[in-house]
Amino acid sequence: MNNDQFVIGVDYGSDSVRSVIVDAANGRELAASVFYYPRWQKGMYCDAPQNQFRQHPLDYVEGLEQTIKDCIKKAGTSVAANIKAISVDTTGSTPVAVDESGTPLALLPGFENNPHAMFVLWKDHTGIKEAAEINEHATKFDVNYLQYVGGIYSSEWFWAKLLRTLRTDEQVRKACYSWVEHCDWIPFLLTGGTKVADMKRGRCSAGHKALWSADFGGLPPDEFFSSLDPLLKGITSRLFKNTYTSDEVAGTLSKEWADRLGLSTDVVIGVGAFDAHMGAVGGQIEPYHLSKVMGTSTCDILVVPNADIQGKLVKGICGQVDGSVIPGMLGLEAGQSAFGDTYAWFRNLLEWPLQNLLATSTLIDAQTAAALKDEMAGKIIPELSRQAALLPIEEYSELAIDWFNGRRTPDANQELKGAITGLGLGSDAPRVFKALAEATCFGAKKIVDRFNSEGVPVKGLIGIGGVAKKSPYIMQMMADILNMPIRIHQFEHTCALGAAMFAATAAGIYPNVEEAMAAMGGGFDMEYFPQKQLEAVYNLRYQQYNKLGGFIEQQTLAK
């Protein structure tokens, strides 16, 4: 390969977008930049008690421009002149209503502050009823259209969110021409797309969330959707039939965006995908090694050679899609709806007096109160982790269930709620935090157990993401509870690195993503090994976790 070839990877997370400029020869990071969504930070357009989480497209557009320009400024003009490609990953399923030009409705006059005209974030569960209807409706057809998404459709996904939006807002319903995933819209934006029919839809999002399959000849037929609800009649004709893997080219950078970013119109834009799928590549995934992207939620990715599957269908996961991770291999997805969010919930609970009472103090001024809040907020989780690590691991102590944002896998059910039991007067904050941490690790074990029981063995664990890098306490517990070593990838922005690897492949710098991964991957900088002396007690606590979870599920079904 030629020297001085650089690529940009852009990773849209739940709270922020980060961009990296990477040397395509070796994966060396030249510059990185992070932008926190300002409207999201203020809680705009969200209603957490109603499970409504929306994000304004301007947060995405502003973050895209600012992070890339900041990276270019840091790396220098000589680097900018040799940038060959940009690829993007996003959270998902995070779709939005668009007009015929492919413009999100929230960017049009009259819709600027309408949450139903904005991106419906992955963790929005307002479509629980619609997901249940899709699951019941699917049983009426000879073809099982849910077979490649684990047999259960989730409220976190494409169709449930579309139907909920069309039912909820007449103004949006009338203006909505099509429905687009975030990971497909950003490449369309960068290439200057003006007609949504021309948008290249990624195989990753289409297969895992929108029921697309080559075996169906594309999406399920119009009859499937129009008989579910007449509001969906004809919608498939305004969506897509073909899909593209992320090693393919979406187009080249438009003149408008080239001018905005200070780049060439020759820059290749790759087809987009979800963060965990590109992150698995950035984390140097191997067949049968579960890549765990651990952030606000977890997304667990496994790749298997197509020849090994032989018609197996893994029940209760988030789909199995040919080419959704590495072209030529089957990508299998699972995950937990709340992981870091579980710890954040507990931190916010403990912060309540700081957030609501400190400002009224007569002992300190407002500036000091604000500074104190910020200082304490940053110390809570690290100190809880330190104190919890000192506690003994006992069979009978506080026990929790991690379904604080419902259950993603195994067997999606977003109506389920979290729980904490075994509380007593001695149950202080470190003990409760320990129970919550154990619960998230027990939830991870349920996923591994499901893959193993379905004949797809998990032979190793790879940890990437914020929690994996920042919390040795949680990672050691993960190794202990799963009774498996877990390797932590060295790159800080692993999802963005994966996007950069796909960018290098789309630009033709490498013939396939496997070669890009081998050349640009930096390896692992930490490995946690299970402590065998804890195996017996954790097995007993795992049994208690399963019993408590079963009780909660029964009570939920009985409502």
266: which residues sit within 8 A by CB, 6+ positions away? 252, 253
pTM for the whole thing? 0.93
Q: Where are the alpha helices (DSSP H) in 28-84?
A: 38-41, 57-75, 77-80
pLDDT for the residue numbered 466: 87
78-111 core/surface letters (b: 16 or more CB in 10 A; e: else)? ebbebbbbbbbbbbbbbbbbbbeebbbbbbeeeb
**How far are the Cα atoms of 69, 468, 552 from residue 407, in angstroms, in the given order?**
39, 21, 12
d(CA 488, CA 486): 7
Residue 44, token pair as written in the block: 């705009």
Q: Is residue 430 reached through a cis peptide bond, with omega within 30 degrees of 0 on the bond before it? A: no
393: which residues sit within 8 A by CB, 6+ positions away? 534, 537, 538, 541
pLDDT for the residue numbered 197: 98
**How far are the Cα atoms of 52, 53, 96, 237 from residue 132, in angstroms, in the given order?**
17, 20, 21, 24
Domain boundaries, the chain: 6-283+492-524, 340-490+529-557
CB atoms within 10 A of CB 162: 25
Nearest 5°: the CA angle 12, 525, 516 is 55
Nearest one of 33, 21, 34 to 81, comparing CA atoms? 21
Three-state secondary-structure class, residue 292: strand
Residue 149, token pair as written in the block: 């998404």
pLDDT for the residue numbered 360: 87
Domain spanning 340-490+529-557: which CATH class is it, in words?
alpha beta
Summarize pLDDT for 413-430 with one digit per residue, the tens. 999 999 999 999 999 999
486: which residues sit within 8 A by CB, 6+ positions away? 292, 461, 462, 463, 475, 478, 479, 527, 528
Exposed / middle / buried, residue 41 (Cβ in 10 Å: 0-12, 13-18, 19+):
exposed
Backbone angles phi, psi at 300, to 5 degrees: -105, 125
Q: Do domains 6-283+492-524 and 340-490+529-557 have the same CATH topology?
A: yes
Exposed / middle / buried, residue 411 (Cβ in 10 Å: 0-12, 13-18, 19+):
middle
pLDDT for the residue numbered 289: 97
pLDDT for the residue numbered 33: 98
d(CA 59, CA 69): 16
Domain spanning 6-283+492-524: which CATH class is it, in words?
alpha beta
Read off the DSSP letter of residue 413: B
d(CA 516, CA 509): 8
d(CA 504, CA 268): 9
pLDDT for the residue numbered 514: 97
d(CA 180, CA 318): 19
pLDDT for the residue numbered 2: 56
CB atoms within 10 A of CB 434: 24
pLDDT for the residue numbered 557: 86
Backbone angles phi, psi at 113, to 5 degrees: -120, 20
Sites in the chain below the pLDDT cut of 50? none
**How far are the Cα atoms of 141, 204, 207, 222, 392 from residue 237, in angstroms, in the given order?**
21, 20, 17, 8, 59
